[in-house]
Structure 1
Amino acid sequence: MTTRRLVLSRSAALIGAASTGLLLPQIVHAQSSKIRIGLMLPATGTFAQTGLGVDNGFHLALEEAGNKVGGRDIEWFRVDDESEPSKGVENATRLVQRDKVDVIVGTIHSGVQMGIHKVARDTGVLSLIPNAGVHAATRAQCAPNVFRTSFTNSQPTSALGKVMVDRGHKKAVWITWKYAAGDEAFEGFRDSYTKAGGTVVKELGLPFPNVEFQALLTEIASLKPDAVCCFFAGAGAAKFIKDYAAAGLKGKIPLYGSGFLTEGVLEAAGASADGILTTLHYSDSLDTPRNKAFRLAYAKRFRMQPDVYAVQGYDTGTLLMRGADAVKGDLSNKKALYAAMEGAVIDSPRGKWTMSKAHNPIQDMYLRQVANGENKVIGIAAKAVADAGTGCRMA
């Protein structure tokens, strides 16, 4: 009887304490023993394959660490963002408000990224960008809780200008989808190309994700430039490459591009891609022990070969673990968490890179040429390329 009274007494005390909020820290701690990770990536549409690469790479990094982040287990939440900017805020809000995630990892499409970015800035949730290179995220709208592990849209193309002029291509046509990523990739190309002495004779564009290229390819043929430079990615890039060859331009007008033109699409593009020159912060053929070990581990785990998207996903996982380990899994210790991530040196398959003050990678850009179904490194186009970070003022 005494025991029963004691139990009831303690139960009443516990209920009373809970009603006054005294037990809230313990209850919250019990509910949040796992780190809640929200993956907001495309699972359908033209960027589905790129989203899969990021997803796989991110998981591989965490699996190699025993599927723990800062010593804590992981709970996963997923959203197919459909590469649809109009749903960006809604989907990101669902992850933060309904699923109570500690971190959002996403995404591919720059327009969708700006939806995530608004939610991240409004709520303070940790936001890791594994691909989308939209400038604003690490320029005028930079934020302490937002980190990018990939590039800005103008970084790869900023290494193209001098390469093209040095090869004698002084008049070029630019072609892309008319959306944020395409416009910002053009900025990097235009600035580097004109600085090196080249002239952009025409800018051509079509709405994303339109892949009816024929009229624009006919115009390119009539313009007869020294070279064509472009930004396309995913399934649309494969079609552009094949259409370019089918239009009779391959072998007549050299094709250059941001490296995403030939990432993850070489099998689909086939022989049409042979000879294309691109600049990017990674290549399958990087002959380093780190890259070889990564490629072997990835192939064993997923029964496919990794690409730059997989590397970026892998580095995103690595960066998250670096920060979480520094705070022993307490992601609420934001000052120490951000400091650890800002100061990280990432030993990546792409080569070692560091984080800029605007939270964007400082990294080498490789010159690659497609040969025998592979992006082969033929040199370093530019070393330690950093985005300008224009307008970034960390709060």
Structure 2
Amino acid sequence: MKTIKQYALTSMFVAGLAAGSVAQASSDPVKLGLMLPYTGTYTALGEAITNGLELALSQHGNQLGGRDVQYVKLDSEANPSRAPQNMSRLVRGDKVDFVIGPVHSGVAMGMLRVAQQTGAITIIPNAGLGAATNELCQPNVFRTSFSMWQDSYPMGKVAYDRGHRRVVTITWDYAGGKEDIAGFEESFTAAGGEIVRQILVPFPNTEFQSYLAQIASDRPDAVYTFFAGGGGVSFVRDYAASGLKDSIPLLGSGFLTDGNLAAIGEAGEGVLTTLHYAETLDTPQNRAFVEAYQAAYGQLPDTYAVQGYDTGMMLIQAMEAVGGDTSDREQLIEALASVELDSPRGPLSFSRSHHPIQNVYLREIRDGRHEVIDIAYENLEVPDEACRM
């Protein structure tokens, strides 16, 4: 695969041969179709992704490859049943050049079907279902976020290295939760650990008392969990209130606490999580990003914001490489696949299946902040063996 610099030189040569067509293309705006939740439970996530994307493009004159940018925003409502219709509206009706979305993995499944039918270039800035860049991978589909496996797998070795040998895992009984704990269980058992019990809670139940009593009776060395949103807040608070926190360390995917620190409060102190970003990451790139985001929106960025930001930076780099020409899909896809970013989250590139290769950080809640205490896994690539493209 060419590097982005090599591809840029090739693109400049091509652009020189076809200056007329590129000049014509450059007179029209690049249409970005945003299929994200702007109402309902996941509104904050959709807004954070949009904010990050718009910040990246504003820092580059709101242009892609010398062309102005036009946003076409469509509320996904996090509703999987409407996903094919909404995706078709953006691609066939609004004729967008890129589709950016979704947040919800169920919505992604519907979008992927239309992406396959139409060839629309689609960038997933959040949904973590593994199949998107594995069984259902497509040349025109990219991910700038994560998979459930990628953020949970490193915690298995962390747990074992910290002396934990017997662990209980607990999550909701749905695909995302089961994919997450599977990643942890894979690495923990490979290291020599034992899963004492796997607890699957009916989704979206947040009544955890009976399960916590079960954990207390099992007396494991640690508990690993995946819950998110209000469920994450309830679980962490109930875990602390039950008294388990003082004797059985709580480990989890970063989504357990991301965006929830204020609501969790003191109950979260000392909880360990693994995730591909933390707002306290001490690098020049992240310090600059946090400062710019706070100046623009009056709040700290989160993981969702940085995923939107990197989507924008990916588009900027690829569109510069092809001289702003979106007419040659194969060249544009190659340019996107060749992107390498010095991201606020750390170095970011893309695997053969178009999944991000990135660091996963070990974070501990200290004084109400996610403090990065180590790199749990450097440049982790997801094993997407089922991808055929």
TM-score by structure 1 length?
Answer: 0.89
- In the other structure, the counterpart of 1:109 is 104
RMSD: 1.9
Instruction: Give, in angstroms, the shift of residue 32 of structure 1.
Output: 8.4
Q: Are positions 1:278 and 2:273 aligned together?
A: yes
Instruction: Give, in angstroms, the shift of residue 376 of structure 1.
Output: 0.4
Amino acid at match of 1:384: N
Q: Which moved more, 1:98-107 or 1:142-151?
A: 98-107
Q: Distance in 1 between matches of 2:325 and 2:203?
A: 41
- In the other structure, the counterpart of 2:134 is 139
- Tell me which of 314, 321, 334 is aligned to 2:316: 321
Amino acid at match of 1:217: L
C-alpha contact 1:326 1:336 (8 A) present in aligned 2:
no
- Tell me which of 104, 116, 122 is aligned to 1:121: 116
Instruction: Give, in angstroms, the shift of residue 263 of structure 1.
Output: 1.0
Tell me: CA distance 1:216–1:324, structure 2 relative to 1, closer, same or farther (3 Å). Answer: same
Q: How big is each residue's C-alpha offset from its partner over 1:79-125, in whole Å with a ceiling of 9 and x where there is no partner?
A: 22232222222222222222222211112221211111111111111
- Tell me which of 328, 337, 342 is aligned to 1:347: 342
- In the other structure, the counterpart of 1:334 is 329
Q: Secondary structure at the match of 2:309?
A: helix
- In the other structure, the counterpart of 1:203 is 198
Tell me: CA distance 1:93–1:248, structure 2 relative to 1, closer, same or farther (3 Å). Answer: farther
Gaps of 5+ in 2: 1-19
- In the other structure, the counterpart of 2:91 is 96
Instruction: Give, in angstroms, the shift of residue 224 of structure 1.
Output: 2.0
Q: Are positions 1:224 and 2:222 aligned together?
A: no
Q: Secondary structure at the match of 2:280?
A: coil
- In the other structure, the counterpart of 1:236 is 231
- Tell me which of 259, 265, 268 is aligned to 1:264: 259
Q: How big is each residue's C-alpha offset from its partner over 1:180-239, in whole Å with a ceiling of 9 and x where there is no partner?
A: 221211221111010011111222223443323333223222322211111122233222
* Corresponding residue pairs, total: 368
Instruction: Give, in angstroms, the shift of residue 392 of structure 1.
Output: 0.9
Q: Secondary structure at the match of 1:184?
A: helix
C-alpha contact 1:47 1:235 (8 A) present in aligned 2:
no
C-alpha contact 2:164 2:222 (8 A) present in aligned 1:
yes
- Tell me which of 303, 307, 310 is aligned to 2:305: 310
Q: Distance in 2 between matches of 1:326 and 1:210?
A: 48
Higher-Rg structure is 1
Instruction: Give, in angstroms, the shift of residue 248 of structure 1.
Output: 2.5
C-alpha contact 1:274 1:373 (8 A) present in aligned 2:
yes
- Tell me which of 369, 372, 382 is aligned to 1:374: 369
Amino acid at match of 1:66: G
Amino acid at match of 1:235: G
Q: Which moved more, 1:78-87 or 1:181-190?
A: 78-87
Q: Which moved more, 1:105-114 or 1:74-83?
A: 74-83
Q: Are positions 1:385 and 2:388 aligned together?
A: no
Q: Secondary structure at the match of 2:246?
A: coil
Q: Distance in 1 between matches of 2:78 and 2:198?
A: 25
**Larger relative contact order, structure 1 or 2 (CA cutoff 8 Å, min sep 6):** 2
Which of structure 1's runs of 4+ aligned residues deviate more than 3 A? Answer: 29-32, 207-210
Q: Secondary structure at the match of 1:352?
A: strand
Q: Distance in 2 between matches of 1:47 and 1:278?
A: 21
C-alpha contact 1:133 1:152 (8 A) present in aligned 2:
yes
Q: Secondary structure at the match of 1:37?
A: strand
Instruction: Give, in angstroms, the shift of residue 31 of structure 1.
Output: 12
Q: Distance in 2 between matches of 1:70 and 1:30?
A: 11
- Tell me which of 173, 185, 208 is aligned to 1:190: 185
Instruction: Give, in angstroms, the shift of residue 34 of structure 1.
Output: 1.6
Amino acid at match of 1:354: S
Tell me: CA distance 1:96–1:269, structure 2 relative to 1, closer, same or farther (3 Å). Answer: same
Calculate percent identity across the aligned residue pairs. 50
- Tell me which of 265, 273, 294 is aligned to 1:299: 294
Q: Distance in 2 between matches of 1:48 and 1:101?
A: 23
Gaps of 5+ in 1: 1-24
Q: Which moved more, 1:249-258 or 1:289-298?
A: 249-258
- In the other structure, the counterpart of 1:175 is 170
Tell me: CA distance 1:135–1:291, structure 2 relative to 1, closer, same or farther (3 Å). Answer: same
- In the other structure, the counterpart of 1:356 is 351
Q: How big is each residue's C-alpha offset from its partner over 1:349-378, in whole Å with a ceiling of 9 and x where there is no partner?
A: 011121101101111111110001111011
Amino acid at match of 1:110: S
Instruction: Give, in angstroms, the shift of residue 154 of structure 1.
Output: 0.1
Instruction: Give, in angstroms, the shift of residue 33 of structure 1.
Output: 1.3
C-alpha contact 2:26 2:325 (8 A) present in aligned 1:
no
Instruction: Give, in angstroms, the shift of residue 287 of structure 1.
Output: 1.0
